[in-house]
Structure 1
Amino acid sequence: MVIGNDEYSIWRTAPDASRLCYQHFLWREVHKSNIHPSIDLNNKQDLRIAELAAGHCLWAMQVAEEYPHAQVEASDINLSLVPPKPDLPSNLSVSKWSFFDPVPEKWKGAFDLVHVRLVIQPFGGYLDPRAVLQKFVSMLSMRFRRLQNVKRVDQMMLEPGGYLQWDEYDYFDADKNNVYSANDPSRVPNPEVTHNASTKVWKIMMKTFQWPTEHFDRLSEYYAQAGLENVAAHRKRPPPSVFRGFFEHWYALIAQLLPVLEARDMEAGQEARHLLTQMKKDALLDGVYSAHITKSVIGRKPEASR
């Protein structure tokens, strides 16, 4: 997929808005927070937070309400899903921007936290995300801390800079029969034989859209290469209580992608359509759902020498 053509504009509809909102609240239920607990934003003055590829802006809206003293800025290539301005928190601003474009000068070194979630789709064609990652890093802040009784700038101390939180599914695990039973929260025995529809659909989508899962599996390595420190990939599987919720979201996403899939490869699209029917049967008859591992990769801009 090429983000410049906004090929996923087919999703800028009311059903997709509902699906994205559902997805947001599922992630919130799993993690019990929007900002990962390893990120410390306490005692930050002039706090600035950015959400990129914000979509419906639910994450940014909730964070703006949680941090009323912060300035939160959300951006996306298309703003059609964003609520009307009167409905937004007063400390939230929204602008149109694609992360494939140059970073605006006003955003360079500006943010204490940059957040992005589930953006593998624009990197179709096996695009390498490292150039975009460098842009995210360039947006992270570097702060001076004034020592007591010190007035000169050259006698101030540099604090560690802003955080980058990049949320994706654990793609390394996603195509490895990651299906579970609602009655028994463990992997279904031998899913390649008994409940393989979800796994097969995932593999079809990865191949057809050429999503660069191997690159995204290496985000932690790429963070370190980009100069971030304290890098950690935090993985969490949805609990059984939301197995069905994640399955329903996955089912809705595949259903929306079917026309695009069939336009690219009719045979693959027809097979996916058949497998979608089987996924529904597995869920309704046997209580078996796909429940992909969520992953948050966190890193921080280090203290720099003057």
Structure 2
Amino acid sequence: MKTNKESVVQLSILVEIAHPVVRMPVVDGNGNSFYFPGVGGITYNFGLGDNAFKMHGDHIEPDISAKNKDKDLNPTCMALSCIGNEAIVIFGDGKGMKGYVIGKHGGIDHVLIWMPEKEKLAIGDKVQIKAWGQGLELTDYPEVKVMNIDPELFEKIPIKEKKGKLHVPVTAIVPAHLTGSGIGAGNPAATDYDMNTLDKNEISKYKLDRVRIGDIVAISNHYNGYGAGGYKDGAISVGVVVHSDCFKTGHGPGMVIIMTSKESNLIPVIEETSNIKTYLGI
């Protein structure tokens, strides 16, 4: 596939590890209340490659959550950071440690980062990200919009071209009726949106309870070219799972969109190993 990779702008953006935030109680679809952790911080026992349904909590974010404390600058960090971007610690005991952006979480507006030695890091440590990816285009497939992914990581995904169509490896296909919170957000380059996991039987039926953080998944009949989660018959979007399940009605594991088309040229192919952890060589 030909891209405009060489002309895609690279910029430095600065975030710092964010303090955890709890929103208690969390009430599920059956009226049960839960008092447990929420978003933010350094999550020591949950990270890239783990099952998204593993944790007993509210939208638990994997590995490291970060943001720019300046509320006027953080939207830029959310919009420009892309999955697979290099991230380096520039302040704290972990100074010099290198990792990768593995997602972003709208609403709380956290950039999610994998680092190899979480125990060396602390709340407030500063991380510089080489933001690269927004503006990436497939020159032979102008109807396919690409966003939120580092060009070098994109090239590592074993997408196959067959008769004018792109066959993309995914671990699962999320049907349109099992999507929820985040639909309707205006900027698909700065957010995620959730699977709707209220109906556990439906989730099990489509094997969505097996998805892991970092899995590449497809969403059927959804177009994300100009907003998040627009229903469009025949459209396909491809995303990366970025945070855990949640008990709140209409919520569930979050997905950041990396490809979308309303034409019939994106073909999801089930491949159980399709995860950015594999493609990043972690």
TM-score computed with the length of structure 1 as normaliser: 0.25
TM-score computed with the length of structure 2 as normaliser: 0.27
> Would you tell me which structure has more helix in proportion to its own residues?
1
Greater C-alpha Rg: 1
> Would you tell me which structure has more strand in proportion to its own residues?
2
